[in-house]
Amino acid sequence: MAVAKNKAQQPDAARRPSDKEDDTKAKDQTASPVADLGKDQELAAYRDMLLIRRFEEKAGQMYGMGLIGGFCHLYIGQEAVVVGMQMALKEGDAVITGYRDHGHMLACGMDAKGVMAELTGRTHGYSKGKGGSMHMFSAEKGFFGGHGIVAAQVPLGTGLAFASKYRSKDNVSLTYLGDGAANQGQVYESFNMAKLWGLPAIYIIENNQYAMGTSLKRASATTDLSHRGAAHGIPGERVDGMDVRAVKAAGERAVKWCRDGNGPIILEMLTYRYRGHSMSDPAKYRTREEVEKVRSEHDPIEQVRLRLLQKKWATEDELKKIDAKVREVVNEAAEFATNDPEPDPSELYTDIYA
């Protein structure tokens, strides 16, 4: 599979001196093709990304009000990654990620009320209030968490792929990890086994440029993370993670690669988080201008909005209606999560053993 990139669509924040070296390496590669989305798909992508955006904004507010505790890592800015990848999946495929997981859950089709109620630590949260922001699961939707230890989900996701192959199914496992997690040793232990055993594992490195406060170039000896499987013979592709069309196209190629029995593959999604690492992060390690530039020039939702308007697939009014509908879903979720009772004290001792 080709290592490809779409320079024109790449967020400027991703351009660093070290990236230029990687550019030369990738010179002979073709630009990553973008999927040709139809009207319904564009509208669905718009709605799904907007839901994540509004949900996260609301979560941020509720955190500020003290309704959400502990760590809370928002996904704002990265919405195109999960929404685009989800478009490539089918029933029975598995998804697993780290702690910046709210977007993944909503993209998997998990109920906003249940996710928000988990954030507030209430009875009808997905984990009965016992998991919180970083630890949510849905057996029904094939979402395997929600893991709080950086990169621990990578061997787990590899195990999900192992189970698919063990059962002779053609389902794939999507394992999301960040650019920070990409430096953890267990990632390479997993890469090795996945390739050795030909497991249907898609590793999606969400490169949002910062591991907490440390920029990629300050933490990684090489910054083209799509090459991280090279030592194990795993192909990788660099994708404009701000363009849902590019993500979907890459996702479909990767899924086909895995379903065809070719073993694992890596997708590096160049993306950007607008908010701090967590709610308590003032993000002093980057400039306001850097964030503003990505927001104004590469916002994943704005890109879809402009296309919808340009192609006259939707009017401003119709889009506002979608926005209103999404706000309604989010407000209902917030309302539910605020009024849902805290778990019964007896829940302290349940679900430890089956």
Partner 1 sequence: MPIQVLMPALSPTMEKGNLAKWLKKEGDTVKSGDVIAEIETDKATMEVEAVDEGTLGKILVPEGTADVAVNTPIATILSEGEDASAVSETAKEASKPAQQQKPVESTPPAEPKKAPSAAANSPQLQAPAEPDVPEGTEMVTMTMREALRDAMAEEMRRDPSVFVMGEEVAEYQGAYKVTQGLLQEFGSHRVVDTPITEHGFAGLGVGAALAGLKPIVEFMTFNFAMQAMDQIINSAAKTRYMSGGQIGSSIVFRGPNGAAARVAAQHSQDFSAWYSHIPGLKVIAPYTASDAKGLLKAAIRDPNPVIFLENEILYGQSFPVPKLDDFVLPIGKARIAREGKDVTIVSFSMGMTYALKAAEELAKEGIEAEVIDLRTLRPMDTDTIVASVKKTGRIVTVEEGWPQSGIGAEIAARVVEHAFDYLDAPVTRVSGRDVPMPYAANLEKLALPTVADVVEAAKAVCYR
Which residues, 6+ apart, have CB-to-CB distance to 152 below 8 Å?
186
Measured at the alpha carbon of residue 214, what is the angle toward residues 284 and 231, in degrees to the nearest 5? 160
Task: Indicate the SS3 state at residue 243.
Answer: coil
Cα–Cα dist 57/271, whole Å = 18
Report the alpha-carbon distance of residue 137 to residue 145 in Å, rounded. Answer: 5
Residue from 33, 70, 149, 292 in contact with partner 1 (CB under 8 A): 149
131 lines the binding site for partner 1 (CB under 8 A)? yes
Contact, 270 vs 239, CB < 8 A? yes
Binding track over 1-30 against partner 1, x by CB under 8 A: ------------------------------
Residue 65 Cβ vs partner 1, minimum distance, rounded to whole Å:
24
Rule CB under 8 A: say whether 129 interacts with partner 1: yes
Quick check: 211 and 179 in contact, CB under 8 A?
yes
| Cα 239 from chain centre | 13
Amino acid letter, residue 249: A
CA distances from 50 to 46, 106, 194, 330 (A): 6, 11, 34, 10
Binding mask 95-124 for partner 1 (x = CB under 8 A): -x----------------------------
Is residue 75 within a helix (H) or strand (E), and if so which, with residue range? Answer: none
The verdict on 126 binding partner 1 (CB under 8 A) reads: yes
Exposed/middle/buried for 324, CB within 10 Å: 0-12, 13-18, 19+? exposed
**Among 75, 99, 162, 274, contact with partner 1 (rule: CB under 8 A):** 162
User: Applying CB under 8 A, which of residues 5, 47, 73, 147 lies at the interface with partner 1?
Assistant: 147
Of 4-12, 98-106, 136-144, 214-222, the segment contacting partner 1 by CB under 8 A is 136-144
How many positions of this chain bind partner 1 (CB under 8 A)? 46
**Contact between 354 and partner 1 per CB under 8 A:** yes
Q: Is 11 helix (H, G, I), strand (E, B) or coil?
A: coil
Choose which of 35, 62, 136, 216 interacts with partner 1 (CB under 8 A): 136
Of the candidate spans 6-14, 66-74, 145-153, 297-305, the one that interacts with partner 1 by CB under 8 A turns out to be: 145-153
Tokens of 263: 């073993």
What residues between 216 and 275 interact with partner 1 by CB under 8 A? none
Q: Which of 3, 94, 255, 267 binds partner 1 (CB under 8 A)?
A: 94
Nearest approach, Cβ of 198 to partner 1 (angstroms)? Answer: 12
Choice between 147 and 248, CB closer to partner 1: 147
Q: Pick one of 6, 10, 190, 220: the residue that binds partner 1 (CB under 8 A).
A: 190
Measured in residues, the chain has a length of 354
Asked if 130 interacts with partner 1 (CB under 8 A), we say yes
Could you tell me where the beta strands, DSSP code E, fall in 258-351?
A: 265-270
Interface residue list for partner 1 (CB under 8 A): 94, 96, 125-131, 135-139, 144-149, 152, 154-164, 166, 185-186, 189-190, 192-193, 196-197, 350-354
